[in-house]
Chains A and B, each alone.
Chain A
Amino acid sequence: MKYSKFTRVSSALVCAVLLAGCGASDDDGGNPRSEEEALAVSDGLTVADPAVVAASDIPVFPIEKYLPKVGEDARIAAASGELIRECMAGFGFTYEPPAPSQETLDSGENGANRARRYGVSSAASAAVNGFHLPKDGLGGQQPPPGIPPMSEAENKVFIGDQDPATGVAPGDKVAGKEIPPGGCSGEAQRRLKIEPRQRMAEKINNVSFARSQENAQVKKALQEWSACMGRAGHTYKTPLDALDRLTGETPSPAELSAAKADVKCKDSVNLVGVWFAVESEIQETLIARNEEVLAQDGTSFDALVRRASEEIAKS
């Protein structure tokens, strides 16, 4: 996909209508912005000459640099699982942790959901799956064997007092051994030094998606898409509306036809190009405004992923 840099709207214009001060350095340092200020978005944003983008070739969003990846979370889970297994064994339980495939451990997918953010994106997939999920890819579902539920004692050791439903109190023992705070789950969190994140990247990802749909330029492109679909004999306001209508286990011929038209119309009106351009602009503004929080989250999460990878390498 040949993606050329599009002409950016003047950031001064964008700044003029934002609530938070633009170009102002971090204020007194002791007063964080309210979340509302941190995520304020101008409605009047317009991108001149958005690049032409095929639905199947949507570029990486600016915010994806900061979003946790599926593979990173899988590594943390695998590492946690090993630590939990060790801890559970100390109580005489044989705990089998999740074992993500190498594909999952390497996955760069994230909550931007590029493959389906704007609905279906691949003509080839649409022709076979309609609006249904492809059988392969998108985390290809292999139905698992049933997981035998844990016994009450095992669950107490596993989760401890993190789940009030277990009724575990500090000092409680199983097999003569004191349950660690938070159970073996809590133990793994401590050993990997897992801490809550501020999740600013997720917020920006969501705000740009939501607010872009109120943007005049995006709305116009959606109208053009809808008109194109109408000419093909399908009535949908937006490609996300079309996903609402998916029914049954397998796609009907009508659904296949609609999904193919969806992708074709996206390309013929450059819906993805326009939408991506507006979202990118919103994201870049929000990223610049919240750089410090994003960096904090990023640094600590990267360090956690490294610790998890080291732990996995040990076993």
Chain B
Amino acid sequence: MKSLRSLKSLLIAAVAACGFVLTGAMPASALPPDGTQVTCGTAGQGLGLYYNSNNAGSKRCIFGDVHNYDANPTNCSSQGCARYAFELDGRNGQGTYLKNNAASAYNYSAYVVRIYYNSGWGGTWDSFPGYGYQGSAKWYGNLNGTYNNNASQRMLYET
């Protein structure tokens, strides 16, 4: 995303200018563009979708916003954009297209995430809080309205 990259450069410049060392590992450069497939786990900060209920079966973890699970914006050619699919990890459902085939989710990111019934963030949504948090839902669990009806996602950076 354009704005993300320019903010990143600004931050890196600011850090350099202040001679200030951020605690922890890598700073702003750690965050990937929307739609990037990441390693499942907290380091990846992705939203994990699972083929089966209760976080079983094959999975796929994606960072940020996706407007349509049939179009990975980080993997496009003149032919169009690739469809997300569950990892080839030997588990149930491996290799199946992600769209409308997920049964459960695990939020590895620090952000509130929403999974929508329709592409383009339309229809109803299922929401999950950040990793380690519980409110009206836990940070992981079976999909509700979007059970086998998952079409798009948002990762709400602000909170």
Q: Is B97 an interface residue (CB 8 A)?
A: no
Q: Are the CB atoms of A142 and B26 closer together than 8 Å?
A: no
Q: Are the CB atoms of A146 and B132 closer together than 8 Å?
A: no
Q: Is A203 an interface residue (CB 8 A)?
A: yes
Q: Is A94 an interface residue (CB 8 A)?
A: yes
With A142-B158, A240-B118 known as contacts, the answer to whether A77 contacts B133 (CB < 8 A) is: yes
With A139-B158, A249-B1 known as contacts, the answer to whether A150 contacts B42 (CB < 8 A) is: yes
The dominant DSSP class at the A interface is loop
Closest to A103 in B: B158
Interface residues of A in 62-77 (CB under 8 A from B): 68, 70, 72-74, 76-77
Closest to B116 in A: A113
Q: Is A257 an interface residue (CB 8 A)?
A: no
Q: Are the CB atoms of B135 and A246 closer together than 8 Å?
A: no
Q: Are the CB atoms of B120 and A142 closer together than 8 Å?
A: no
Q: Is A148 an interface residue (CB 8 A)?
A: yes
B2 to chain A, nearest CB (A): 7
Q: How distant is the Cα of A45 from the Cα of B143 in the complex, in angstroms?
A: 27
Interface residues of B in 93-137 (CB under 8 A from A): 110-112, 116-127, 129-137
Q: Is A162 an interface residue (CB 8 A)?
A: yes
List residues of chain A with CB within 8 A of the CB of B149. 210
Q: How distant is the Cα of A12 from the Cα of B2 in the complex, in angstroms?
A: 57
B142 to chain A, nearest CB (A): 10
Q: Are the CB atoms of B158 and A244 closer together than 8 Å?
A: no
Q: How distant is the Cα of A129 from the Cα of B100 in the complex, in angstroms?
A: 26
Interface range for A:
35 or more
Q: Are the CB atoms of B132 and A240 closer together than 8 Å?
A: no
Closest to B149 in A: A210
List residues of chain A with CB within 8 A of the CB of B70. 244
With A80-B133, A165-B41 known as contacts, the answer to whether A149 contacts B118 (CB < 8 A) is: no
Q: How distant is the Cα of A149 from the Cα of B70 in the complex, in angstroms?
A: 30
Q: How distant is the Cα of A226 from the Cα of B132 in the complex, in angstroms?
A: 44
Q: Is B78 an interface residue (CB 8 A)?
A: no
With A155-B42, A199-B144 known as contacts, the answer to whether A139 contacts B133 (CB < 8 A) is: no
Q: Are the CB atoms of B2 and A148 closer together than 8 Å?
A: no
Q: Which of B111, B120, B133, B151 contacts A131 (CB 8 A)?
A: B120
Q: Is A23 an interface residue (CB 8 A)?
A: no
Q: Are the CB atoms of A202 and B23 closer together than 8 Å?
A: no
A-B contacts counted at CB < 8 A amount to 187
Q: Are the CB atoms of B145 and A133 closer together than 8 Å?
A: no
Interface residues of B in 13-50 (CB under 8 A from A): 22-31, 41-43, 45
Q: Are the CB atoms of A147 and B30 closer together than 8 Å?
A: yes
List residues of chain B with CB within 8 A of the CB of A144. 31, 111, 157-158
Q: How distant is the Cα of A191 from the Cα of B159 in the complex, in angstroms?
A: 21
Q: Are the CB atoms of B123 and A146 closer together than 8 Å?
A: no
Q: Is B67 an interface residue (CB 8 A)?
A: yes
Q: Is B154 an interface residue (CB 8 A)?
A: yes
List residues of chain B with CB within 8 A of the CB of A100. 158-159
Q: Are the CB atoms of B26 and A146 closer together than 8 Å?
A: yes
With A111-B124, A206-B145, A243-B118 known as contacts, the answer to whether A146 contacts B135 (CB < 8 A) is: no
Q: Are the CB atoms of B145 and A162 closer together than 8 Å?
A: no
Q: How distant is the Cα of A14 from the Cα of B43 in the complex, in angstroms?
A: 52
Q: How distant is the Cα of A101 from the Cα of B124 in the complex, in angstroms?
A: 24
Report A's interface with B, CB cutoff 8 A.
68, 70, 72-74, 76-77, 80-81, 84, 94, 98-101, 104, 111-113, 116-119, 131-133, 138-151, 155, 158-159, 162, 165, 183, 185, 189, 194, 196-197, 199, 202-203, 205-207, 209-210, 239-240, 242-244, 246-247, 249, 301
